[in-house]
Amino acid sequence: MNHLISPLRRQPLMPWLIVLQIAVACAILCNTLFLLVQQAGPLLTNDGIARNEVIIVDQLVSGGGNWTASQARAGADALAGIPGVKRASAVVGAPMRQTLTMVYDIKSANGPTLLVSGFIGDKLIDTLGLQLSRGRDFLDDEYSDLQLGDGDGGATTPVIITESLARTLFGSDNPVGQSLTSGDDSGHYVVVGVVSHLMRYQLAELDDGKAEYAILLPHRAAGLPMLSFVIRADAAQRDAVLNAVPGMLQTTFAGQIAKGFEPVVSDYEKLRADGLRSRRAAVWLLVTVNAVVATITLIGIASLSGYWIQQRTRQIGIRRALGATRGQILRHFLAENLLLTCVGLTGGLLLAVLINQWLMQHYELPRLPLAYLPAAALLLGLLGQLAVLLPARRAARLPPASATRSV
C-alpha cells in the first residue's frame, strides 16, 4: 500500500483533482439516476389495456341535470352498434382522463391506507381488454347504479384489484376472499378477482410504485352531470369507429348535450402519449445529463491521469530498468486509480445523500433509496478504471532506456 500512497504524497494536487471530480460526478449521478428511474417507471409500466383497440369518449356534459342510468345504457348500446365495435361501457374513471375521477382510500387488516383509482363501469374487464389473473369477474346481480352521495349502507362491495395492489396489501397471501375497508372504516369490500395490470388515471400519482394502485367496482354510471364511455373496437377498424362516434353521439343524445361542450373522442394510444409527454421529455433530459456527466468524468480522469503519468516518466523508467514488467506497471496505475476512486466515492456518496435531503426539503422529492449508492459507486468505479486504462497501457509500453532519457 505504501508504494501506492508515496507518489500521491509527493504530488498531491493531481490526485485531489481526480478525487474531487469523482466525488462531484458520484453525487450528481446518484440523484439523476434515481430521478431517471422514477420518470421512466410509468412509461415502462404495463397498463393492462388493449391499447390499439380502445377508444375513449369523455366530457359528455348533460344540458339538463344529471345523466340517468337509462341514458347511460342507451349511449353504450348505441356505441356498441357501430360496425367494428366489440363492446362499449359507460364509465366513471376513463383511462388517461382526469375530468371525472373516483378516488378511494382502502386498507387491509394489517396493511397501510392507500389512495387508489376507482374504475366504475359495466363489464370493464372485457371492454378494456384486461387479463384476469386470479378469482372471477363481477356477477350480473352484483352491479348497481352509482348515485352521487350514496353510501354502501353497511353492505360489503365486491372489488377487483391489480396484482401490484394485492402485493402491497397482502404480500404473498392470496388476495381473493380478503376483506378491505376504507380509511375511516365506513366502506367494506371483499376482493373477488385480480387483474394482472391496470394503470391508474391520476397521472400525478404514478411514482413510488403507485402506477397500478387501481380497483374496479361493480357500479354503473348514473346520476352524474358528465358521462364517459370506453369503446373496444377491432384494431383494423379503430379509425373508422373513431370517425363514426361523434355522429352517433349527436344522434343518440340529440338536444341533451350541453351547448358549447364538445365531447372528447380519442384513441387510447394518443391519450397515453399526450398524458405521458412530460415524462418522456424528462427522461430524455435526464438521460442526456447522465451521459454528459459520465462522458466529462471519463475524459477528465483520462486527461488528468495521462498528464500525471507523463510527469512520472522517470519513475516508470527506473522501475522498468529494475525489472518491473509491463503488467506490473499497468496494475500499479490501475490500483492507484482505484484507490483514488474509492476516496472520491466516499465523499461523493455522502454528498449525494446530502443533496437528496436538500431536494426533499425544497422540492418534495422522495428519499434516495440506498440501493442507488452501490450502483452509482460500481458505475463510477468501472468508469474510472476505463479512463485510466489507455494512459496506463501507454506508460507500460515505454522501454526502460527511452523512459529514462526522456527526463
Percentages (nearest 5) of helix, strand, coil residues in the chain: 50, 20, 30
Determine whether 252 is exposed, middle or buried from the number of CB atoms within 10 Å of its CB (0-12, 13-18, 19+): middle
* 371 contacts 34 by C-beta, under 8 angstroms: no
Is residue 267 one of the residues assigned to a domain? Answer: no
Same domain, yes or no: 294 and 173: no
Is residue 283 one of the residues assigned to a domain? Answer: yes
Is residue 286 one of the residues assigned to a domain? Answer: yes
Is residue 10 one of the residues assigned to a domain? Answer: yes
Same domain, yes or no: 252 and 144: yes
Same domain, yes or no: 295 and 349: yes
Listing DSSP states for 141-180 in one string gives GG-EE--TT---TTPEEEEEEEHHHHHHHHTTS--TT-EE
The C-alpha atoms of residue 13 and residue 153 are separated, in whole angstroms, by 75
Same domain, yes or no: 366 and 308: yes
Is residue 326 one of the residues assigned to a domain? Answer: yes
Same domain, yes or no: 81 and 224: yes
Same domain, yes or no: 216 and 360: no
The domain of 147 spans 63-257
The residues, ordered by sequence, that sit 6+ positions from 261 with a Cβ below 8 Å of its Cβ are 59, 61
pLDDT (tens place) for every residue of the chain, 407 residues total: 555 566 655 666 778 888 899 999 999 999 999 999 888 888 888 899 998 999 999 989 998 888 888 999 999 999 999 999 999 999 988 888 877 678 888 888 777 889 899 999 999 999 999 999 999 999 999 999 875 554 555 688 999 999 999 999 998 899 999 999 987 777 889 999 999 999 998 877 888 788 999 999 999 888 888 889 999 999 999 999 999 999 999 999 988 988 888 889 999 999 999 989 999 999 999 999 999 999 998 898 888 888 777 777 777 777 767 777 878 878 878 888 888 888 999 999 999 999 999 988 887 778 888 888 998 889 888 988 888 888 888 877 777 665 555 44
The C-alpha atoms of residue 52 and residue 356 are separated, in whole angstroms, by 40
Same domain, yes or no: 234 and 133: yes
What was the pLDDT predicted at 80?
A: 96
Q: Residue 142 corresponds to which cell in the numbers above?
A: 352484483
* 346 contacts 381 by C-beta, under 8 angstroms: no
Is residue 262 one of the residues assigned to a domain? Answer: no
The C-alpha atoms of residue 138 and residue 189 are separated, in whole angstroms, by 13
Q: What angle do CA 97, 209, 228 make, to 5 degrees?
A: 15
Q: What angle do CA 67, 158, 223 make, to 5 degrees?
A: 10
What was the pLDDT predicted at 354?
A: 93
Q: What angle do CA 282, 284, 288 make, to 5 degrees?
A: 115
Same domain, yes or no: 371 and 248: no
Domain boundary among 210, 228, 257: 257
Is residue 158 one of the residues assigned to a domain? Answer: yes
Same domain, yes or no: 249 and 153: yes
DSSP 258: P
- What number of H helices and E strands is found in the chain? 12, 13
Per residue in 133-168, is it b (16+ CB within 10 Å) or e — as a string? ebbebbeeeebbebeeeeeeeeeebbbbbbbbbbeb
With residue 117 as reference, give the H or E element that holds it.
Answer: strand 114-121
Is residue 384 one of the residues assigned to a domain? Answer: yes
What was the pLDDT predicted at 376?
A: 87
What was the pLDDT predicted at 367?
A: 86
Q: What is each CA distance from 167 to 10, 137, 194, 211, in whole angstroms?
A: 58, 19, 11, 13
Question: What pTM was estimated for this model as a whole?
Answer: 0.80
* 256 contacts 281 by C-beta, under 8 angstroms: no
Q: Residue 359 corresponds to which cell in the numbers above?
A: 431536494
* 189 contacts 105 by C-beta, under 8 angstroms: no
Same domain, yes or no: 70 and 123: yes
- Type of residue found at 235: A
The C-alpha atoms of residue 401 and residue 398 are separated, in whole angstroms, by 8
How many domains does one find in the chain?
A: 2
What was the pLDDT predicted at 316?
A: 73
Same domain, yes or no: 233 and 88: yes
Same domain, yes or no: 25 and 74: no
